[in-house]
């Protein structure tokens, strides 16, 4: 396993550790074998290296994973950060004022009010209570 060289009181000792099982080490000191009982069992060295799986690819080598394109819905209120919709506080057809709370989004263990960014009427609600949303996702369309 390992070899060491010690000098004690001017004497040189070559120590080779052959194996360690629980609290017994088999060692050779200057060619003489010894079984050494240790006070504490040796620490188990568990080295497990796992490489991350390679992302799937098509036969042409292109990535299978795609990112959703940024939405281009006119008048959409977008989420500022990823999270989970806790509550929808508006309905289709409601008239809303700028600053009015439309949804409550939980992100990073905090509740965030998602407010209307303009006056108008709710044309479409694109999420439901409990939905997970990514940053920039359309939540509500105001017309």
Report whether 93 contacts 86 (CB < 8 A): no
Q: What is the pLDDT of residue 61?
A: 73
Res. 4 pLDDT band, cuts 50 70 90: confident
* Long-range CB contacts (within 8 A, 24+) of 107-110: 107/81, 107/82, 107/83, 108/81, 108/83
Give the tens place of pLDDT for each residue, 78-127: 999 999 999 999 999 999 999 999 999 999 889 999 999 999 999 999 99
Distance CA 45, CA 79 (A): 47
Average pLDDT value for the chain: 85
The number of angstroms, rounded, from the C-alpha of 38 to the middle of its chain's C-alpha atoms is: 41
pLDDT tops 80 at residue 19: yes
The number of angstroms, rounded, from the C-alpha of 6 to the middle of its chain's C-alpha atoms is: 46
Report whether 80 contacts 70 (CB < 8 A): no
């Amino acid at each position: 396993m390992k070899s060491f060289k010690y000098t004690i009181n001017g004497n040189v000792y070559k120590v080779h550790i052959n194996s360690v099982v629980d609290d017994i080490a088999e060692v050779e000191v200057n060619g003489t074998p010894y079984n050494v009982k240790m006070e504490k069992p040796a620490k188990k060295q568990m080295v497990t290296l796992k490489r991350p799986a390679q992302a799937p690819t098509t036969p042409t080598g292109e990535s299978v994973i795609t990112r959703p394109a940024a939405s281009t819905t006119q008048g959409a209120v977008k989420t500022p950060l990823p999270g989970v919709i806790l509550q929808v506080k508006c309905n289709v057809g409601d008239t809303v004022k700028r600053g009015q709370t439309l949804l409550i989004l939980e992100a990073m263990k905090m509740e965030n009010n998602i407010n209307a960014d303009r006056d108008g009427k709710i044309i479409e609600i694109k999420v439901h209570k409990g939905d997970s949303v990514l940053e920039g996702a359309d939540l509500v369309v105001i017309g």
